[in-house]
Amino acid sequence: MKFDLHKFLAVVAQVGPVVLAAVPGGQKIGQVIPQIVDAIGEAEQIKGATGAEKKEHVLKVVRTAVGVANQTGKVKLDTAEVEAVAGAGVDAVIGTVHVIDGAKVDKGATSGAGGRANLAAGSLPGVDTAARSSDLPDGKATHGHGSGDHVPSTPAPGASSAADTDPQK
């Protein structure tokens, strides 16, 4: 399959901000996420550059963006910390783009329960897409977890339980 730069840039523009904000420490790079997304697109267009060279381009932009943000006096970002989180974020964005690019949609069906696209089991690299017991009519798991595939009935700490909202109590 031939590389499609326009598709790559569109996917990065859509998922990049979300993935970058979601990586551990993502709140520390919020101020420079737009610059990171733009730099990923720029880096992909550098002819003959290796992945490491493209990532270094992005991190150079990050260092510059941190300097500019700090000069405003409104924030005080730690360059090394932001650079470390941004580096992990870039890897996560590129990994996400590869997962999206490698997803195979079952051509026989357009959508499944709840309007979700039907993906062939195992079609997302590194993602378990096997059916869950909640997806099956008889409630029996087929993915190796046996009958222990239950959600605890005890609410999380601080969450309200059915008893708290039962109008008959």
pLDDT score recorded for residue 111: 45
Same domain? For 117 and 98 the reply is no
d(CA 168, CA 165): 9
How far is the C-alpha of 86 from the C-alpha of 63, rounded, in Å? Answer: 10
pLDDT at 106: 57
Residue 47, in any domain of the structure: yes
* Whether residue 37 is found in the same domain as residue 51: yes
The count of other CB atoms within 10 Å of the CB of residue 57 is 18
What is the Cα 136 distance to its own chain's centre?
27
Domain boundary among 102, 128, 155: 102
The boundaries of the domain holding residue 96 are 5-102
Structural domain count, the chain? 2
Please give the pLDDT value at position 102.
80
% of the chain with per-residue pLDDT over 70: 60
Residue 84 scores a pLDDT above 90: yes
Token pair recorded at residue 10: 């569109």
Backbone phi and psi for residue 157, each to the nearest 5 degrees, phi listed first: -55, 130
* Same domain, residue pair 37 and 117: no
Residues 90 and 120 in one domain: no
pLDDT at position 143 over 60: no
> Binning pLDDT at 50, 70 and 90, where does residue 104 land?
low
- pLDDT band (50, 70, 90) for residue 74: very high
In a domain, 154, yes or no: no
Query: Are residues 46 and 87 located together in one domain of the fold?
Result: yes
Residue 167 lies in a domain: no
Query: Is position 162 within any domain?
Result: no
Whose tokens are 């195992």? That residue is 122
pTM for the full predicted model:
0.61
